[in-house]
Structure 1
Amino acid sequence: MSPRKSAAEARATRRRIVERGVAIASVDGLEGLTIGRLATDLGMSKAGVLGHFGTKETLQLAALDEAAAVFVRAVWRPAEDAAPGLPRLRAVCEAWIAYLESERETFPGGCLFATASVEFDARGGRVRDAVVRLGRLWRRRLAGEIRLAVAAGDLSPDTDPEQLTYEIVGLYLVLNQDLQLFADPRAPERTRRALARLLAPGASAAVA
């Protein structure tokens, strides 16, 4: 076997492990992501899984990174070519709804970040730090689009970007719960109606 082929196969195996890990973690949490479970699901030895990650924590962090990449591809990429500010913010919000409705193969248990946020909110350590970092990065991106919308006159000049970001994120946490826990088919449309009020020009719900 050539070194190039061996390296390519190792990357492919690592990717299989991570993808399966993300699916498991969305249902059972990152703590439910064990070397033994992955080895059984993938028909590998525990040593084979450990050879790619070394520790459970490293595996958890890799699953978070993969989930973040999936989220960016599904939510940001479809919207990034929209005009900056309110048009792009609305496009992001719609893509976010579609992501939560359709990402059942990758995230059979719903949004991994929603699960991890609850699972690690009272813990310390590198995994919690990664969840916090990724969440803050996304909120900063949303707040940046809100600031652009205010500067363009598409939202009230009194709009508080952090407050509006807080309310938007809250809507999606509820949407994820209603889709997963209550299986409510009306949840996406309820979210769209709430967003229409929050993002209407001159809306006062998110004013400082």
Structure 2
Amino acid sequence: MSKGRVTREHILAQAFELASVNGLESLTIGSLAKHCGLSKSGLFAHFNSKQNLQVALLDHAHQVFALRVIEPARELSDQRIELKLKALLENWLSWNDSFQGSCMFLDAWKEMHGELGPAQQGLKKIIATWIDYLVIQIEKGQQQGEFCSQLDARQAAFELYGLYLSAHLFYSIQGKQQSDIHFWQGVERLLASWKVTG
């Protein structure tokens, strides 16, 4: 890996750390340069604009999300889909915990509301990819006979995401413990409604 690439990856790792605490929109070339021990011009040369920095950071965050949330669950490929989904959800909540109970992608989406720039388009694609991944897992559960064949997988993913959004809100109001209790009760109820009854 070239020195320039190493520096760029270092900058993105530091940017991810800062954005995790203060949000994507709060990230500036100046604050990031100071955090990285670089000059503004030196850092700017790697991205050329704040918008390019945001796009690169979102791509980096998506890679981190895949490593923390999806990859560990993929190791359960021989397990039942229900167990894999629960592992995904556990990892998903842990992702939130690393951002004080929030979600970098959802926070960025709110911050960018109304904009149609490259950063928002990239963010939309990231969220859509994750939703599609959940749909695929639910469809696999149907194919393996764990979930009812009449289940609308996309609607099921919508309802699952709704529980996640509720947990996102309740964390900030009632704290992690209470939020987790509500979330997992909702998940168990939802999964039970998907199963084949005989």
Please indicate the TM-score interval, normalised by the length of the shorter structure: 0.7 to 0.9
Indicate how the Cα distance of structure 1 residues 173 and 51 shifts in structure 2: closer, same or farther if over 3 A, else same.
same
Deviation digits for residues 117-168 of structure 1 (CA, Å, limit 9, x no counterpart): 2122321111110011111111111001111112222112221111111111
The DSSP-based 3-state class of the residue aligned with 1:199 is helix
- Report what 2:95 is aligned to: 99
Are 2:82 and 1:90 aligned?
no
Indicate how the Cα distance of structure 1 residues 34 and 109 shifts in structure 2: closer, same or farther if over 3 A, else same.
farther
Counterparts of residues 1-208 of structure 1 (less than 5 Å): 7-8=2-3, 10-82=4-76, 83=79, 85-101=81-97, 103=98, 107=99, 110-180=102-172, 182-200=174-192, 202=194
Deviation digits for residues 52-76 of structure 1 (CA, Å, limit 9, x no counterpart): 1111111101110111111111111
The DSSP-based 3-state class of the residue aligned with 1:52 is helix
Q: Partners of 2:164 and 2:101 in 1: how far apart?
A: 15
Q: Partners of 2:101 and 2:93 in 1: how far apart?
A: 15
Deviation digits for residues 102-122 of structure 1 (CA, Å, limit 9, x no counterpart): x2xxx4573210111212232
Which 5+ residue runs of structure 1 have no aligned equivalent?
none
Deviation digits for residues 3-26 of structure 1 (CA, Å, limit 9, x no counterpart): x7xx23x33322221122123323
Identity %: 31
Structure with more helix by fraction? 2
RMSD of Structure 2 on Structure 1 (CA): 2.3
* TM-score normalised by the chain length of structure 1: 0.83
8 A contact 2:101–2:168 mirrored in 1: no
8 A contact 1:84–1:145 mirrored in 2: no
8 A contact 2:101–2:176 mirrored in 1: no
Deviation digits for residues 164-207 of structure 1 (CA, Å, limit 9, x no counterpart): 11111222223233334653422122211111111125469xxx
The DSSP-based 3-state class of the residue aligned with 1:30 is coil
Which 5+ residue runs of structure 2 have no aligned equivalent?
none
8 A contact 1:26–1:115 mirrored in 2: no
Deviation at 1:95, TM superposition (A): 1.9
Q: Partners of 2:16 and 2:102 in 1: how far apart?
A: 11
* TM-score normalised by the chain length of structure 2: 0.86
Indicate how the Cα distance of structure 1 residues 53 and 109 shifts in structure 2: closer, same or farther if over 3 A, else same.
farther
How many residues align? The count is 194
Deviation at 1:31, TM superposition (A): 2.2
